[in-house]
Amino acid sequence: MVWTVRIMLRGPMADEATYLGGRYQILGKLGAGGMAKVLRARDLNLQREVAIKLLREDLIRDVAFQARFLQEARAAANLIHPNIVTVYDFGTEAERNFIVMEYVVGTDLKTLIRRRARLQVDEAIEMMIQISAGVGYAHRAGLVHCDLKPHNVLVAADGRVKITDFGIARALASITPGERSDVVWGSPQYFAPEQASGGAPSPATDVYALGVIFFEMLTGRLPFEATDGEALAQLHLHTPPPRPRSINPEIPPVLESIVLKVLSKEPASRYRTADQMGRVLMTFASQLGMAEALPAAIPIPEPVHDPQALTASMDLGRDQVDWLAVLLGLLVFLAIGGLIPLWLWACLLYPTCPLSGF
């Protein structure tokens, strides 16, 4: 349902309104981004606080931004997951669009990292498992976020992590192999090499962004830093990331291997989806005895006590699947091959067998 909203102004800007349509009481400003301002409000009908994302006034005439704003609402509204911010409503008044969303009491991950300098290893793992769960759900729903960064990850007061801002998300069905774009959407500090070169996004593109976020959570700094977007793009494309343990020696070697794998330049060398990355991290967490700290809704795999086996599991079972296919093919071959001699032997037992004359 789309609600009709009347904005009663007490100043020249719509975000200075006291009420929206007599239903949403504006309580304050939460932040601002490239497309919109985010307001804290109270839904007077349902008696709950909400966050309202209001398109910037100077973008009212920009058709492209209007379309992206609507795309975000539609994309997020179809994603119902505990690690994704819930969208309640979308509306337009005086050509200015707004999205009504779940209000998360807490902070964003970027602010948390700045406040802490860096996160503890177990805390970073727990949060990244939750982030991977939310992003993985979006991947299963056929969406690539394309703009994952700590600013778009909200951390609630109870520790729950929620993904937001699907403004430039792409439907997998709309992405064609080999597509190229002269306009690169996303944040240069976090986008993948294929994004930097104008290539088509994929779930592995989001996985790379998760790797940058994870690196930042564990070390307190970005793997690549430069003064402009073009220089950053070149670093993502060609420069190997520093080893996380060279910045934070408390990072276990196997965890460092996971981070570096996720930051591979080639998409095929990373985990193919966020779900797969999350499963590897859950295995590692259970090995560290962190099972109690993991989200209850996420199944905990059996611990892997052999570090080499854990490192091998980071290949997502691709080799295991291939060997399984080879084994099945061999069994089929042996079954068919074994039946032929049996059939010949049975045929030759009878005088009427067409092969008996040979």
- Which tokens go with 326? 């080879």
Q: What is the CA angle 35-36-39, rounded to 5?
A: 165
Instruction: Return the SS3 of 145.
Output: coil
Instruction: Return the SS3 of 166.
Output: coil
Q: What is the mean pLDDT of each run of 10 residues along the chain (358 residues)?
A: 34 52 83 79 92 78 75 79 90 74 92 94 95 94 88 92 78 51 63 82 91 97 89 90 96 95 94 94 85 47 39 42 53 60 60 57
Asked if 222 and 214 touch (Cβ cutoff 8 Å), the reply is no
At 356 the pLDDT is 55
In words, the CATH class of domain 7-102 is alpha beta
b/e per residue, 169-180, with b = 16+ CB within 10 A? bbeeeeeeeeee
- Spans of all domains in the chain: 7-102, 106-316, 320-358
pTM: predicted TM-score of the whole model, two decimal places: 0.73
Q: Which fold has domain 106-316?
A: Transferase(Phosphotransferase); domain 1 (1.10.510)
Residues identified as active-site: 147
Distance in angstroms (rounded) separating the CA atoms of residues 204 and 220 = 23
At 233 the pLDDT is 87
